[in-house]
Amino acid sequence: MNSNFLNMIGLGSVDVGYLLLGLLIINVILLILIVIAFSQISKFTKKYNKFMQGKNAGSLETDIMKLYEDNTFIKNHVEKNRKDIVELFSRQKFNFQKMGLVKYDAFKEMGGKLSFALVLLDENDNGILLNSVHSSEGCYSYTKRIKNGTSAIDLSNEEKVAVERAIEGTASNPDAE
């Protein structure tokens, strides 16, 4: 079969059967793409109908405006909460976070380990040491300032242990006391 048109476009030597087979393959591919497109349109239509169920343009606009207002409200509160958290963390640095406690007998004739050394420190190991000495005549308490984990006033052995426990985060050792 000799065609002037095929000769004119440069396909005169191509077998017409191959040309028809190529066109058939292209048609099948296009048919598959059309089926896929229709299924996606069908899914979208179902979602759209479900979304629009019982709504008109006015009520939809109202719903969208409420969502926008809610979103703005949430964003404002999230930002406020972030600022509050930053402020709380900055204040937390100066709160007592660490504790060390040592119970001991101040005098050998006294029993029950009624005397104690209590250390309360912040994040930077600054705070106070409270020592309460119990004797048969009464109970005497005093404090010492702790700065960077040390005291300007000499510490007793029990006080040193209490400071170490506070810094290490072991608080107290009930088994040893």
Domain assignment of residue 173, yes or no = no
Domain assignment of residue 22, yes or no = yes
Domain assignment of residue 177, yes or no = no
User: Same domain for 4 and 34?
Assistant: yes
Helix runs in the chain, H state only: 4-8, 16-52, 57-92, 157-168
Structure-token pair, residue 19: 């040309």
Domain assignment of residue 12, yes or no = yes
pLDDT tens by residue, 62-85: 888 899 999 999 999 999 999 999
Domain assignment of residue 176, yes or no = no
Domain assignment of residue 23, yes or no = yes
User: Same domain for 6 and 33?
Assistant: yes
Please give the residue range of the domain that contains residue 72.
Answer: 56-91
Closest CA to 165 of 117, 133, 115: 117
Closest CA to 166 of 112, 93, 117, 115: 117
What's the predicted TM-score (pTM) here? Answer: 0.53
User: Same domain for 132 and 113?
Assistant: yes
For CA atoms 145, 150, 153, 158, the dihedral sign is: positive
The fraction of the chain above a pLDDT of 70, given in percent, is 90
pLDDT tens by residue, 97-132: 899 999 998 887 767 788 999 999 998 899 999 999
Is the Cβ–Cβ distance between 129 and 146 less than 8 Å? yes
User: Same domain for 24 and 75?
Assistant: no
Name the domain count of the chain. 3
First CA to last CA distance, the chain: 111
Distance, CA of 41 to CA of 98 (rounded, Å): 64
pLDDT of residue 72: 94
* Backbone dihedral region for residue 6 (phi beyond 0: left; psi -120 to 50: alpha; all else: beta): alpha
Listing DSSP states for 106-175 in one string gives SSTT--S--EEEEEEE-TTS-EEEEEEEEETTEEEEEEEEEBTTB-SS---HHHHHHHHHHHHT-B--TT
pLDDT tens by residue, 136-177: 888 999 999 999 999 999 999 999 999 999 999 876 655 454
Query: 39, 65, 91: which is the final residue of a domain?
Result: 91
